[in-house]
């Protein structure tokens, strides 16, 4: 069995405009047995005067759920389809997460912003930010709402060096993954940003090998995630091969499917 648990749709407003069905067909062509749609989580905008346009809106939820559920039935004999969200975790939104979680199969945590829809970790990460990020991820994993930790090395987008603070953060991620038995993702989508020079080496921001070197010292579960924003990402062998090359020689505890909880 092989699953992809990180799939977006046009509703996030930064994926292709393809129909949801295109992702299902691509996943079948790529021999996935499980395809989970986990589009960017709609926050409750009543608290925000300026809606953030890089994610699903609450008004699109009904259409999202009904579309994916009908595909689930239509393709039931070819692939298992799940529907859920990728969300940042902020404890003050706990009630909203719980309410939204009831209608879906799963939620994965992908912490892009330091504060709710404000200050992207990609724009700069101090040592203090790494502590905050670790606390946010720990909060997500301990909440019982999430069953998958997306791109734990996303923070390297906002960091120019790998140092002790980064290593400490990686150890915390490994420890929380083990403590809550939640797999962490090697994100194939990070390649879309191309390479840049970090510590004198031209590398992708993420997956970032030194992070995974630390993770390889722990038995925590690791899973590849396509982070599809186009159906073609699911059949793209290049990204997979690039990342396999990047992680070559590391003994990661790779799994192909996750436990939905």
Which residue ranges make up the site for Zn ion (CB under 5 A)?
A: 86, 227
When the beta carbons of 86 and 129 are compared against Zn ion, the nearer one is 86
Distance in Å, CB of 8 to Zn ion, minimum: 5
CA angle at residue 153 from 148 to 157, to 5 degrees?
135
The SS3 of residue 53 is: coil
Residues in contact with 76: Cβ distance below 8 Å, sequence separation at least 6, in sequence order:
none
The SS3 of residue 144 is: coil
Distance in Å, CB of 7 to Zn ion, minimum: 8
Side by side, the strands of the sheet bearing 221-225 are: 184-187, 221-225, 253-254
Q: Which residue is nearest to Zn ion (CB)?
A: 227
Distance in Å, CB of 6 to Zn ion, minimum: 5
When the beta carbons of 4 and 216 are compared against Zn ion, the nearer one is 4
When the beta carbons of 84 and 139 are compared against Zn ion, the nearer one is 84
When the beta carbons of 67 and 187 are compared against Zn ion, the nearer one is 187
Contact yes or no for 56/41 (Cβ under 8 A): yes
Q: Is the bond leading into 132 cis (omega within 30 degrees of zero)?
A: no
Q: Which two tokens stand for residue 161?
A: 């060096």
- Please identify which residue in the block is written with the tokens 């008004």: 59
Distance in Å, CB of 165 to Zn ion, minimum: 25
Distance in Å, CB of 39 to Zn ion, minimum: 8
When the beta carbons of 9 and 67 are compared against Zn ion, the nearer one is 9
Residues in contact with 31: Cβ distance below 8 Å, sequence separation at least 6, in sequence order:
2
């Amino acid at each position: 069995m092989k699953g992809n648990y990180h799939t977006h749709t046009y509703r996030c407003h930064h994926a292709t405009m393809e129909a949801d069905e295109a992702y299902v067909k691509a996943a079948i062509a790529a021999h996935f047995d499980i395809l989970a749609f986990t589009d960017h989580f709609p926050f409750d905008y009543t608290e925000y005067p300026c809606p953030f346009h890089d994610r699903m809106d609450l008004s699109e939820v009904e259409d999202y759920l009904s579309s994916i559920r009908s595909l689930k039935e239509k393709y039931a004999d070819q692939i298992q389809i799940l529907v859920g969200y990728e969300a940042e975790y902020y404890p003050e939104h706990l009630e909203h997460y719980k309410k939204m979680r009831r209608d879906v199969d799963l939620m994965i945590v992908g912490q892009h912003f330091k504060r709710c829809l404000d200050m992207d970790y990609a724009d700069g990460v101090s040592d203090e930010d790494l502590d905050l990020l670790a606390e946010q991820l720990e909060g997500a994993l301990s909440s019982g709402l999430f069953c998958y930790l997306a791109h734990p090395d996303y923070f390297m987008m906002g960091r120019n060096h790998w140092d002790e603070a980064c290593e400490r953060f990686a150890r915390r991620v490994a420890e929380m993954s083990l403590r809550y038995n939640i797999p962490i993702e090697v994100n194939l989508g990070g390649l879309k940003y191309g390479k840049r020079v970090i510590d004198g080496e031209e590398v992708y921001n993420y997956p970032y090998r030194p992070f995974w070197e630390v993770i390889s010292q722990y038995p925590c579960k690791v899973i590849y995630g396509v982070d599809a924003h186009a159906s073609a990402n699911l059949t793209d062998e290049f990204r997979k091969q690039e990342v396999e090359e990047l992680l070559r020689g590391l003994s990661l505890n790779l799994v192909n499917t996750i436990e939905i909880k």
